[in-house]
Structure 1
Amino acid sequence: MQGVEYWLWLANALGPCASNSARVLRAFPAPEKLALALGQQELNELFTPAQMRALKSTRPQELLSRMERCRQLGVQIVTWADPDYPPLLRQIDSPPPVLYYRGDLSAASAPLVLGMIGPRRPSAYGVEAMQFLAQGLAGFGAVLVSGMAEGLDGEAHRACLRKEMPTIACLGFGHQHCYPAQNHMLKKMIEKCGLTLSEYPPDKEPCKAFFPQRNRLIAGLSRGVCVVEARENSATSNTVSHALRYNRDVFSVPGSIFSPLSAGTNRLLTEGAVPVTCAKDIFRFYGLESAEEEKPAPAEEPELSPDARKIRRLLSSRPQTLASLCEKAGLEPLRAMAAFTELEIKGVAQQLAGRQFILKGS
């Protein structure tokens, strides 16, 4: 970890999503040299006035406490100088000088890393399409990246976990926090089987402005981005615009011309996005051979925690709300959501639009 405090000092001064970070890193690939140049060279054309003030008002040694905080929380740090820094992320115009992570960083260097995105309030069609595509892609070795948000982001991660394959969650907050709170269990499972990644220090709380900044990391880490469902002018367009700027491939899932939730994906298709109806469409696009579609394995009774067993006994083919199930099970909402996450990952339950739940396959 020698010299990491200089990288933290530089990242702290630049701020998240700094548009000049690529130029700064080319000019000073070792921040120790920047510290020596400060006050001796004219740097006003390279840094903004606010960044210059931050560089001068903070010493690298003051960031040693952040390194200790990361150690206490089990958060690791990778810097631009590290050979393990995600290779595709080096190509973007605003790469973070420092990334904070938990899990297996090598997932970000897999041969095929794909972004999977969609709305927080998807339709039943969107949920089904994401599960179908994500499981197919993960089953044949693709590493899927998303934002761990409600809705289709979470479905992408859960599909990978069901296949016991790594998945990457890009966070719009520091690792000490979790947003939404009900994804706490999902976050822990991703860190066990994949990677959670953030450019924000561990104590940084979620902030509305951070999520569009986070979207560029989803696009930057990915060879291509697949939009499963989207309204016109939705938040997904932010990620797509980053993908196009970074020369990433854009895939889109066609939907009903009568559904507002397919208006965005259908428009992308008219603008040249690659249509996707199954995982093989993406593998063929990249010239990769995939095995025949997997046949479903014989059903086995999954091992469940006591809370998950309690919720499972209450589920049926009739959709039930979170509040109703919490009352019947006598569980607090956060404990119930953790149980639902376990049931979804193990293929027992399914979440529908409006945070309603059913027993899968019933």
Structure 2
Amino acid sequence: MDNTNKNINQNANTNENKKINNKRGSEYKEQLEKLKDKNYIKELEKQGIKVVSVNDRDYPAKLLPYDHRPEYLFYKGRLPDRDKPVVAMVGARACSNYGRKMARALARELSENGVQIISGMARGIDTYSQIGALEGGTPTFAVLGSGVDVCYPTENIELYNDILKNGGIISEYPPGAGPIAWHFPLRNRIISGLSDKVIVVEAREKSGSLITVEWALEQGKDVMAVPGRVGEKLSDGCNRLIRAGAGIITGANDVLNDIQYSGSKNENEKKQKEKGLEKDLALLYSGLRLQPKNIYELMNETGFKYEELTGMLLKLQLMGLVEQPSENYYSKA
């Protein structure tokens, strides 16, 4: 999308829907206090529930740059693979037969080509996107508006269990938390934050899916929409996004070509730059990973002083080989 974020933002739902509400306050913090109790953590592990904090190595790198990132994430199964593309698919709960077929077919083909699909496991488009992703074979992931041990909607329990066979169920809400209405607009920032692209398959003019679009635009993510018939209420949201500048998707290749082009081009450029690195820079670069490392961890590993490291890291950043997703954290680009 070229210079269209402002237009789409104006047409999406109001910012009130995505502000991190004070409702997260006391109740949420009280529950998270339990995480200081090692026995509580052990009990979670017995239930197959893991927790990762923003300071842990396993915390998703895609979320680190955002000040609205969750301090903790609970998950069952696993987290998305850092080295594979992630596409979020969202849309209407009360979708049409056309929407169901498109969501399932797109997700299946993307999954067959190694793309990880992430959604909210809601009724409608979310459900059919994740069914298609399971058929494609690449792990799929659901971000819930409840605790990871609470399947919502309850009729998706089979889908919930199928996702856990290879993928993961993720939530910022502690185990046992119910599907409260205000949880859902907030969880959408995690769906978009974990993705490389957001696809809206079918949406009404004032669809809740457009809250995910708002978050995606704020996070600098690419947004695409499936066009629908003019005059169909379930297509109004998607058609409006396209009119405002969102990418048009009529098949999986519209996404795959973009991902492959960007990947191959960047990879070739990166390999050329890597070959020309000086010895010290090469040593430092070899110790970096896609998972961000703290500068003090790099000091211990390489033996370089703080001043030396900051200068070297700046050089690598200017070469496009290193990124700084958050203060004092560095990763391979």
The verdict on a shared fold, with TM-score over 0.5 as the criterion, is: yes
1:117-143 Cα shifts (integer Å, max 9, x gaps): 011110111011111211111110100
Identify if the C-alpha distance between structure 1 residues 136 and 82 changes in structure 2 by more than 3 Å, giving closer, same or farther.
same
Residue 82 of structure 2 corresponds to 109
Q: Distance in 1 between matches of 2:103 and 2:36?
A: 45
Q: Distance in 2 between matches of 1:76 and 1:61?
A: 11
2:142 is aligned, of 160, 164, 169, to 169
2:79 is equivalent to residue 79 of structure 1: no
Residue 248 of structure 2 corresponds to 275
Q: Distance in 2 between matches of 1:59 and 1:145?
A: 29
Residue 106 of structure 2 corresponds to 133
Higher relative contact order (CA 8 A, sep 6+): 2
Structure 2 counterparts to residues 1-362 of structure 1, below 5 A: 63-105=37-79, 107-288=80-261
2:48 counterpart letter in structure 1: G
Normalising by structure 1, report the TM-score: 0.62
Contact 2:92–2:125 under 8 Å retained in 1: yes
Q: Distance in 1 between matches of 2:185 and 2:37?
A: 26
What is the CA-CA distance between 1:19 and the residue it aligns to?
5.2
RMSD: 2.6
What is the CA-CA distance between 1:111 and the residue it aligns to?
2.5
What is the CA-CA distance between 1:77 and the residue it aligns to?
1.1
Identify if the C-alpha distance between structure 1 residues 289 and 159 changes in structure 2 by more than 3 Å, giving closer, same or farther.
farther
Q: Secondary structure at the match of 1:286?
A: helix
Q: Distance in 2 between matches of 1:181 and 1:163?
A: 24
Residue 315 of structure 2 corresponds to none
Larger Rg belongs to: 1
Q: Secondary structure at the match of 1:179?
A: coil
Instruction: Specify every segment of 5 or more residues in structure 1 that has no aligned partner in the other structure, as ranges.
Output: 1-16, 21-46, 291-362
Total equivalences in the alignment: 243
Instruction: Specify every segment of 5 or more residues in structure 2 that has no aligned partner in the other structure, as ranges.
Output: 1-17, 264-333
Q: Distance in 1 between matches of 2:56 and 2:50?
A: 12
Identify if the C-alpha distance between structure 1 residues 224 and 191 changes in structure 2 by more than 3 Å, giving closer, same or farther.
same
Normalising by structure 2, report the TM-score: 0.68
Q: Distance in 2 between matches of 1:264 and 1:61?
A: 41
Contact 1:126–1:152 under 8 Å retained in 2: yes
1:99 counterpart letter in structure 2: L
Q: Distance in 2 between matches of 1:123 and 1:60?
A: 43
What is the CA-CA distance between 1:64 and the residue it aligns to?
3.5
Q: Distance in 2 between matches of 1:262 and 1:221?
A: 26
